[in-house]
Amino acid sequence: MADGLLNHIGGEDRAAATGATTELVDPATGRVHGRAPRSGRADTEAACAAAAAAYGPWSATTPADRQRALLAVADAVEAHADELTAAETADTGKPAAQFRGEELPAIADAFRYFAGAARNLPGAAAAEYTESRTSLLRREPVGVCAQITPWNYPLMMAAWKIAPALAAGNTTVLKPADTTPSSSVLLARIAAPHLPPGVLNVVCGDRDTGRALTAHPAVALIALTGSVRAGQEIAAAAAAGLKRVHLELGGNAPVIVHEDVDVPATAAALAQVAFYNAGQDCTAPTRFLVHARIHDTFLDALAAAARALRPGTDLGPLNNAAQLASVRALLDRLPGHARIVAGGTRPARPGFFHDPTVVAGVRQDDEIVQEEIFGPVVTVQPFDDESEALRLADDVRFGLAASVWTGDHDRAMRATRALHTGIVWVNTHGTTVSEMPHGGVKHSGYGSDLSLSGLLDYTRPKHVMI
């Protein structure tokens, strides 16, 4: 797939106008496995023009028409499971069984959910809210969307962006991360028989490609899943054109573990989630806040669970050399009071792998506590009471997700109310469903993926008075 990778614009596969390409590296081996277009302004112009031309006819289709198209795309995703798995794993290095068994079904489900949601838009009842005048509410698509996706879950994040945008009647230009474009381009190709040309376009490239795309005057809405830095840059650039912006940014999820849990079972369950996808997940449990009464026992159990995980079998590599270097540098800068109790090293094998790592003895103002790690590294801190746990949990700039582990229902419900995050799990962590919103607060961004909220983010209300 990657050897012949091309942009998908207006229903056609195209090389970059300049012929420029970039190397694609398999993170599991560190070897080049293909090349992708490095698109420039001419390519983003062509993609936005195609999306703008397709918008009028596509926005005029009925919800039932769009439902049929998205259901066909979902079926095509399942029919092309082998090719999509090969494309995704070549770019990410993640275990094929993980992608095919856990991620691909969720990708198809997102298309099916939004296919149905397209036919169930909410709105205020038509009524005479003032004398002799009838008001009604229309929900309309916003126009051409520019969507930028990350390298940790390339195809899943593409589905989370594309499905609601198209279900609402918009057209889109998607720019995947420069290291992981293969599965997104393949998705556009397998969706092409079911969508009019120009409705879904994919342009590959780097940051400059993204800047050219988001600056295009035809773009009405910009949706990004990425870093805080990228979100701040996009929000600032969008302000000049007063474009709508939807940002799903970083996370630094706290896990509050109370003294009444089953320690071995809780540690084992959380280790599986924390190191899934090599910790490259914005909702991954990274800051373990453990009641002082069970802290040492829990730390031992978590460290043992981390040591039992095998890079290359149980978890994949970091996506690229720069991310591996970032994780290594963070560990190299650990203060003297912190200690590594598991991992902390790289396995003796090719690729960008890192051992699952547990760090204890950290303090709240330490860099490794305050900043997103985005790798297979977690920290463990003790707390003495519930109020301290909640204070420590919220004392970072991120607010995407959190979880609380306890058998006390009242305590759990107090935490769900008090935690300043977009998602709170109780006695579980990391599970998402298409029917519920996925988004954060503070430096984790604004707007929602998934759910009816995610669909409404791609619409604009219009009041009609008769």
Q: Please, are residues 398 and 252 in contact by the beta-carbon 8 Å criterion?
A: yes
Report the 10 Å Cβ neighbour count for 337.
10
Q: How far is CA 40 from CA 156, 171, 175, in A?
A: 25, 20, 12
| Catalytic-labelled residue, pool 103, 248, 372, 386 | 248
What the block records as the tokens of 231 is 């979100």
Dihedral of the CA atoms 365, 367, 369, 373 (nearest 10)?
170
Residue 315, class by beta-carbon neighbours within 10 Å (0-12 exposed, 13-18 middle, 19+ buried)? buried
Cβ 5 vs Cβ 182: under 8 Å: yes
Closest to 278 (Cα-Cα) out of 54, 74, 28: 28
Name 190's bridge partners: none
282 is catalytic: yes
Cβ neighbours around 336 below 10 Å, total: 6
Two structure tokens written together for 22: 């970039």
Q: Is 346 helix (H, G, I), strand (E, B) or coil?
A: coil
User: Phi then psi for 179, rounded to 5 degrees?
Assistant: -90, -10
* Token couple for 296: 């040492």
C-alpha span between 286 and 274 (Å, rounded): 7
Residue 388: half-sphere exposure toward Cβ, Cα within 13 Å: 12
Is residue 367 part of the annotated active site? The answer reads no
Quick count: other Cβ atoms within 10 Å of Cβ 244?
18
Sheet containing strand 244-248, edge to edge, reads: 12-14, 7-9, 200-202, 171-175, 144-148, 219-225, 244-248, 445-446
So which residues are the catalytic ones? 248, 282
